[in-house]
Amino acid sequence: MIAGTVLDRAALMERYRRNRLRTAEIFALVNDGAFYDRPIPLRHPFAFYEGHIPAFSFLVLNERGLGQDPLDPTFERLFERGIDPGSLDEARRHERRDWPARAAVAEFAARCDARVLAALESAKLEDAAVPRLARGQAAFTILEHEEMHQETLLYIVAELPYDRKRRMTATHEDRKLGPAEMRAVSAGTATIGANRDEIPFGWDNEFERTEVSVAAFGIASRPVTNGDWLRFVEQGGPVPHFWNRHDGSWRLRLLGEEIALPHSWPAYVTHRQATAYARWAGMRLPTEAEYHRAAFGTPAGDERPFPWGDEAPQPKHGNFGFARFDPESVDAHPDGDSAWGVGDLIGNGWEWTSTPFGPLPGFEPMASYPQYSADFFDGKHFVMKGGSPVTATSLIRRSLRNWFYDDYPYMFAKFRCVA
């Protein structure tokens, strides 16, 4: 929240309720019999996430932020933290077979929700003297934490076999695309991060506002598509995680169904694969600062909040905000093009950069969630920008930074090349 203004309690409660509803809809995709499945071995089972999201909200806002008494210490500890182990060996150390019954988890979640909503309604959410409550930090932290988990939950649902989740079919459009064109971006300043007074809320890795000088470069007008990637595969390149081959033709594994490979959709690949493709094409991945230049800079020299300008993000600007679970053609949203004519920068898949995830100058771990970023400053995670079809619209902001291991294959991430 901007200093001096008042938190809108009704809006916070409405957002919390909307989040809980969307989370419930995501869990409803999973068959009852799959509640303890771990389709991604490096992650906990669904049972954990059903308890984790409300437990985190209660812990961060009520217990640690407002100093309220615990609600259920055993469950709070059990559901406190997710895992991001670097290897299967390490993942095995987190394995447990005694997750509670679903009804007990649901009952605990309902108790957390009631307490969180009561706090949002009437507790002192903002207190400049308490770091966890400065600018309403704890309240925003729990809302964005849940929204981010909705995306990562869907990565996990995507890995669940089709006979263990709800089948979803839709009409999908493929288009004929010309080759990507290179757009020239002139030398200039890229502003990464933000000042604390600039945005209502940001995670610790978004501060402080950092200006970077960027030399002129050329960048592809659109992300690398499945059609582009197919030529790479034909010359010995790796096959993306979401592709399957049946009877001599390539298929794309979506969340709810498998379809013929749409050539005009972005290729979802790992950082390592993207880097290999760029090298094969005689190019490279953009740095985080180059992404910012291409997305938010203008030939006139100013920087804007979004590629398309100042307007708040809407469905016409890109494929984000859960309008659909799947990607679509990279040219589907010309209204989202940047000032340089670079398209599909926000939504339709996060965009890989060549920049290892690290702190901006002036970084300080946030009081509400000190491990959020600091645990990942290891040189093994890379910055992703933009957003995916299942990134909440509230997370579409210039300063937001996402990151993943360079070989983690499950997330919805695309890329483009620069020269």
Q: Write out the residues near Fe ion by the rule CB under 5 A.
A: 82
State which residue, 82 or 305, has the beta carbon closest to Fe ion.
82
Q: Please, are residues 401 and 383 in contact by the beta-carbon 8 Å criterion?
A: yes
Nearest to 337 by CA among 242, 248, 220, 224: 220
Q: Please, are residues 341 and 183 in contact by the beta-carbon 8 Å criterion?
A: yes
Nearest to 352 by CA among 308, 419, 412: 412
Q: What are phi and psi of 155, to 5 degrees?
A: -60, -40
Sequence letter at residue 113: D
State which residue, 82 or 315, has the beta carbon closest to Fe ion.
82
CB of 372 to Fe ion, least distance (A): 9
Q: Please, are residues 369 and 360 in contact by the beta-carbon 8 Å criterion?
A: no
CA atoms 309, 310, 316, 319: torsion sign: positive
Residue nearest to Fe ion (CB): 82
Sequence letter at residue 112: C
Q: Please, are residues 382 and 354 in contact by the beta-carbon 8 Å criterion?
A: yes
State which residue, 218 or 365, has the beta carbon closest to Fe ion.
365
CB of 238 to Fe ion, least distance (A): 30
CB of 52 to Fe ion, least distance (A): 6
CB of 37 to Fe ion, least distance (A): 19
Please tell me the distance from the alpha carbon of residue 291 to that of residue 271, in angstroms, as a whole number: 15
CB of 141 to Fe ion, least distance (A): 10
State which residue, 82 or 218, has the beta carbon closest to Fe ion.
82
Please tell me the distance from the alpha carbon of residue 306 to that of residue 353, in angstroms, as a whole number: 18
State which residue, 84 or 126, has the beta carbon closest to Fe ion.
84
CB of 71 to Fe ion, least distance (A): 18
State which residue, 61 or 417, has the beta carbon closest to Fe ion.
61
Q: Which residues of 196-213 are buried (b: 16+ CB within 10 A; e: fewer)?
A: eebbebbbbbbbebbebe
Q: Number of C-alpha atoms within 13 angstroms, CB side, residue 383?
A: 25
Please tell me the distance from the alpha carbon of residue 278 to that of residue 91, in angstroms, as a whole number: 31
State which residue, 56 or 325, has the beta carbon closest to Fe ion.
56
Please tell me the distance from the alpha carbon of residue 344 to that of residue 349, in angstroms, as a whole number: 9
Q: Number of C-alpha atoms within 13 angstroms, CB side, residue 105?
A: 21
CB of 138 to Fe ion, least distance (A): 14
State which residue, 84 or 331, has the beta carbon closest to Fe ion.
84
| Torsion angle, alpha carbons of 390, 351, 189, 203, to 10 | 50
CB of 198 to Fe ion, least distance (A): 26
CB of 80 to Fe ion, least distance (A): 9
- Tokens read off for 418: 């620069």
State which residue, 139 or 330, has the beta carbon closest to Fe ion.
139
